[in-house]
A and B are shown apart, each in its own frame.
Chain A
Amino acid sequence: MNTTATQANTPPRQLATVTKYFRTYRWYFLAGLAVTVLSSGLMMYTPRLVGQIIDGLEQGRGAGYAGRRVLILVGLTAASGVFMFLMRRTVIWASRYIETDLRGEMFSHLLRLTPSYYHGTRTGDVMAAMTNDLEAIRMMAGPGVMYTADAAVSLLIGLVMMLTISPSLTLWALLPLLVLPFGVHRIGSVIHKRNAKIQDHFGVLTAAAQENLAGMRVVKAYGQEEREIENFRAVSETYIGLNISLAKVQGIFAPLMRLIAALSYLTVFYMGGLRVINGTETLGTVITFFGYLALMTWPVIAIGWVVSLYQRGLASLARVNRLLHTEPEVPEGGGRAAAGPMAGRIECRNLRFSYNGRPVLDGVNLMIEPGQTVGLLGLTGSGKTTLVNLIARLHPVERGMLFIDGVDVNDWPLRELRRQIGFATQEPFLFSDSIAANIRFGRPEAGLAAVQQAARIAALDKDVAEFPQGYETMVGERGITLSGGQKQRTAIARAIVVDPRIIILDDATSAVDTETEHEISQRIKEVLTARTAIVISHRVSSVKDADQIVCFDDGRIIERGDHEALMARNGFYAQLYRSQLLEKELEAL
């Protein structure tokens, strides 16, 4: 981890993320540079034409002289416009290509990262990298590059043109303009900082509202509404204060830029005017210079702007790299020789696992034969879920501790291993897609018949029949809201559809009533014959008929055996059984 971090800090490695794409699209950028030169070059000739016309008028040439130049002017601008179009068409398009590729690279990396990364990272941060940071990098690669080229070419050509007309007037014209890039960059960074501060405080404002609304019950119970309002007022006032402080800088920024540009204008007007009066320059020259100033002001401003673009882009690139340089914790695995079908024998040999330095599993020995159904019981945090997660290698497992079909779990190729496992959890995640799409999630090619059968096994079919569009009903944000039990049964159907060799139900029926749960487990047995099943539950009834019942406490197995044996033992299991029997009686009262 440390080595990757230091490597990531070296600039070449930082830039490598984008430079490879510049290489891919180099022809776009080279063509872009060529048309930029053409576009600016043609455009930079137009002020001269205007000057010639003015001088021509002064010298008493006819309207034809002006007319010809006016036509050339329109022609040059039109030609320059074509190249200007091509400039965007190449460079900005290429930057969009880069954006698309980089977004793909990031997402494909996200698909490889393990749960531990997602536990330690807020979804919002991942989203920020894939939206704001990506856009900042795109701005650097597109407009950043384009305006750099445009400014360099325009300024160079403009400067040469002006110098050939009047070197001393050029000096006077450019003097005030030179301040612009520094000003833009300087004020730009102040604006950026104040903006960042506003963004931060916007976070505070959001958090204040969020907290107040989430804690509304406490607020109301303690009669704190008025005080909450006063507190929020203060937060909101700070927010508008920060906005006004930004406006103070921003408000002066644009007018100041205009002032500086106008000063250039004024210098040319005054110094040039004096020269015209004493006869050393013509009025046409002054007007020509006006034209150059108009054409060169934006490129000069762009320099300052582009510097800020690069700064922001590089900062974003560092954040994107932090994501791309995080290596998945669980290796792909492989090395298992024969790739025959999995039988489903699971063996734990003194299995240990720690999370954040805290032991979660502490020497578990367990043998599950192919086709066995095993029930896992225990209080929350006793290690049951961790055990099944390790079987699917959601977390890294040390070698020599966990075997499937006698092969170390690390030697199974990750994909192949997981393809044999059907997993359903207590709070399943469903996608905002149709019921059918959710059920066939693990086997997209599954037909409607397979989906329906899985739904029947999971006792979901009757619910689906009542949905507005049956299996095509959308769930989640854009569709209907499923009850906890319906979600769980959908997840069970999803696990069944993949026809797994090992089926894992991690408290997957906690929101389903006991009878339905019993039905489901019966049907799973009938359909998925000779499959290994691991059932985690808080209810004794769900595991009562299992071949093997294993009770966990604090990462260790405290009891094991079948129902009769454990009842005879009169320990944790027996007590849990009796108390849940009473609960059932009570319900009936």
Chain B
Amino acid sequence: MSGARDYHEEEALGKAYDARLMRRLLTYMRPYRELTAGAILFILLAAAAQISLASITKWGIDSYIKAGRADGFHAVALVYLAAVCGILFFSWGQIMTTVRLGQKVQHDLRMQVFEHLQRLHLRYFDRNPVGRLVTRVTNDVNTLNELFGTAVVAVIGDLFMILLIVVYMLYLNWQLALITFLVVPVLVGATFVFRARAREAYRQVRLKLARINAFVQEHVTGMAVVQLFTQEERAYREFGAINLDLQGAHLRSVIYYALFYPAVEIIGAVSLALVLYFGGVRIIGGAMTFGELTAFIWLVERFYQPIRDLSEKYNVLQSSMASSERIFRLLDTAPEISDPPRPRAIAAFRGRIEVENLWFAYEDEDWVLRDLTFSVEPGERVAVVGATGAGKTSLVNVLFRFYDYQKGSIRLDGVEIRDLALRELRSHLGLVLQDVFLFSGDYAGNVRLRNEGIGDEQVRQALSRVGFDRFLKHLPDGIRTEVKERGATLSTGQKQLLSFARALAFDPGILILDEATSSVDTETEHLIQQALEELLAGRTSIVIAHRLSTIEKADKILVLHHGRLREMGRHEELLSRGGIYRTLYEMQYRRTAAAPVNRQAAAK
């Protein structure tokens, strides 16, 4: 199964019932009042039809079998058949309605969580591993399905069933009923004691299962370390201990079941014995009929089922509380970055960016951007250079408002970007990242993403403009070919070209590009340079540059160093100044220019 499972995330079970959580959960059923009512109606009818079988049996025995009347006896059989069909129909209806109800609520809840995640800020994703968030959307929602899909309705059904049995027994013969009820406390007590014990045993089993799974997962992941340090035997010993521990927990829980089932049988036998003996005495005394006795036997046998069902619902309730608490915590996290209450709009887009005294930190006062001031004119090509950690990527993050800056301002065509709707801001900007993220699906889908407004023709054009058509030729289904394993089989260069095509297809007013550093072969390098030209031509752009050619062609170079803008100007200008830029140039760019030559020399 895809998606890593987190065996470490222990299934912490809290309270079984939390009124506040429960009330909030039940609000999700509100839109489906009719469905809920239908489900309850079905379950009540099914219970009633069940009980009617006892009454039909009584009728047949007393009025026909014992009376020796054969004519009309087939009518009893037909009524019985009708009741049985009724049970079939009502039970089926009940299952269909409750499942539908559960699924609808599950879908709503899942969409709510997913939609909320779309609105959350990136900092939230930095703090919460993707795997855990996926669990919220998938497993946690599924757990609640059980609550809505069966538990809520079934509890009503079980209680009704018990009520019907009790009432009918009392109606048939109240004295015998009371005698029979003597066993009920024992039965209920045994069931709930067993449930409590079994639940605890089961919790132990789950805890130990989680432990052994975490152990195995960890050792499978770190197998090379175990083997390099020759700790196989110790690992096996430790595993053996946990394994035995788990076995012990299993064996204990088996004992509870092994004791419980015979106990129920014996309690059942005792109640049957009571009915037979005291019923028999009444028959002898003429106070009771054979039909009534048979009905009693039938009812006594059906008493246990709803009691057991009820005790099982406790587990469902408990896991629902834990899941819903996690889900609600996510839903209650407010997005830190959202649209302003009254967004302003850019009247006529030109693409001028002004950054003024900009300060930004991810945490507290650890400034990664310090007092930046610069502007980008429409149509200008700006290169940003600097060593690792200079703040280049952070600049991209604040321009897109992935994170909010603390001081200073960024204006797009004169409007502070915080006053723009996020959609509007991002619709003017295009982003090409160093690590290209590809989605599963076909090539076309990776260019247009989910924007159906970009047609196949536009996709093809974009791909051909970046020179990807030469690869496309070899694909069996052209742009409809699936990208395997999210691009794992594609070369770095191909992935970059794809992301260029994506940016071209969206045709943003301003392009922000984080050039990839990884080395590619000379041919691909050539392709990428051409594609880059195609992408940047006539477009306002900010490029975090790693290629000398890109920098040389820039209208303006910003040199960032430890978060500050230290130098600004054109290539020759900065080079002759002999500052940081010059050092950077000698360190990186001259080397990349020289590397292939050196490689050839080395191969000799």
Contacts and interface: CB of A to CB of B under 8 A. Distances in A.
B88 A209 contact: no
A432 B221 CA distance: 12
Interface stretch (A118-126, A514-522, A531-539): A118-126
A571 B502 CA distance: 41
Nearest to A254: B91
Interface stretch (A81-89, A308-316, A342-350, A458-466): A81-89
A130 B224 contact: no
Contacts of A123: 4, 217, 220-221
Contacts of B277: 63, 66-67, 70
Contacts of B239: 104, 107
Interface string A60-99: 1011001101110110011011101101110011001101
Interface in A92-115: 92-93, 96-97, 99-100, 103-104, 107-108, 110-113, 115
Most chain B CB atoms below 10 A, which of A54, A220, A224: A220
B290 A54 contact: yes
Contacts of B100: 244, 247
B450 A230 contact: yes
Nearest to A417: B230
B5 A124 contact: yes
B229 A498 contact: yes
Contacts of A575: 591, 594, 598
Contact of B225 (A74, A99, A429): A429
B583 A70 contact: no
Interface stretch (B255-263, B464-472, B542-550): B255-263
A206 B57 contact: no
Nearest to B110: A236
B3 A206 contact: yes
B111 to A, nearest CB: 6
B240 interface: yes
A225 interface: yes
Interface stretch (A167-175, A351-359, A365-373, A579-587): A579-587
Contacts of A124: 1-2, 4-5
A269 B130 contact: no
A333 B212 CA distance: 31
A104 B138 contact: no
A211 B483 CA distance: 14
Nearest to A118: B223
Given A84-B262, A248-B96, A442-B229, A222 B103 contact: no
A216 B125 CA distance: 8
A396 B92 CA distance: 61
Interface in B29-76: 53, 57, 60-61, 64-66, 68-70, 73-74, 76
Interface residues of A, number: 146
B480 interface: no
A379 B250 CA distance: 53
Contact of B273 (A71, A217, A248, A283): A71
Given A77-B266, A89-B258, A429-B224, A218 B433 contact: yes
A205 interface: yes
A324 interface: no
Interface string A260-274: 001100100110011
Nearest to B270: A74
Nearest to B77: A270
Chain A interface mostly: helix
Contacts of B110: 236
Most chain B CB atoms below 10 A, which of A130, A206, A287: A206
A441 B228 CA distance: 11
A85 B111 contact: no
B174 interface: no
Contact of A237 (B4, B99, B107): B107
B587 A224 contact: no
A258 B402 contact: no
A59 to B, nearest CB: 11
B539 interface: no
B223 A111 contact: yes
Nearest to A216: B125
Contact of B265 (A84, A210, A432): A84
A211 B273 contact: no
B276 A70 contact: yes
B216 A130 contact: yes
Interface string B450-472: 11000000000000000000000
B243 to A, nearest CB: 5
A549 interface: no
Nearest to B401: A220
A274 B70 contact: yes
Interface in A213-233: 213-225, 227-233
Contacts of A126: 216, 220
A240 B65 contact: no
A213 B426 contact: no
Given A225-B119, A250-B95, A131 B103 contact: no
Given A70-B277, A115-B224, A442-B229, A217 B122 contact: yes
B134 interface: yes
B586 interface: yes
Contacts, number: 385
Interface in A118-141: 118, 123-124, 126-128, 130-131
Interface size grouping (class) on chain B: 35 or more
B315 interface: no
Contact of A587 (B106, B111, B387, B519): B387
Interface string B413-434: 0000000001100110111010
A203 B4 CA distance: 11
Interface stretch (B11-19, B78-86, B347-355, B523-531): B78-86
A23 interface: no
Contacts of B361: none
Contacts of A81: 262-263, 265-266
B246 A225 contact: no
A231 B603 CA distance: 51
Given A93-B254, A217-B122, A575-B594, A431 B218 contact: yes
Given A217-B402, A269-B77, A559-B602, A227 B449 contact: yes
A539 to B, nearest CB: 13
B8 A92 contact: no
A78 B266 contact: yes
Given A63-B284, A202-B138, A207-B3, A110 B219 contact: yes
Contacts of A262: 53, 84, 87
A274 to B, nearest CB: 6
A88 B84 contact: no
B69 A240 contact: no
A206 B603 contact: no
A73 B111 contact: no
Contacts of B125: 213, 216
B175 interface: no
22 contacts: A66-B281, A77-B268, A82-B262, A103-B243, A107-B219, A110-B216, A115-B224, A202-B142, A209-B137, A210-B134, A212-B114, A214-B437, A218-B433, A220-B402, A229-B118, A236-B107, A247-B96, A252-B92, A283-B61, A423-B229, A571-B601, A587-B387
Interface of B: 1-5, 7-8, 53, 57, 60-61, 64-66, 68-70, 73-74, 76-77, 80-81, 84-85, 87-88, 91-92, 95-96, 99-100, 103-104, 106-107, 110-111, 114-115, 117-119, 122, 125, 130-131, 133-134, 137-138, 142, 209, 212-214, 216-232, 234-236, 239-240, 243-244, 246-247, 250-251, 254-255, 257-259, 261-263, 265-266, 268-270, 272-273, 276-277, 280-281, 283-284, 290, 293-294, 297, 301, 387, 400, 402, 422-423, 426-427, 429-431, 433, 437, 439-440, 449-451, 486, 502, 506, 519, 561, 580, 583-584, 586-588, 591, 594, 598-599, 601-603
Given A57-B284, A84-B258, A127-B217, 15 more contacts: A107-B219, A111-B232, A210-B2, A212-B117, A225-B119, A229-B114, A255-B88, A262-B87, A273-B64, A276-B65, A277-B70, A432-B8, A432-B218, A441-B225, A586-B584
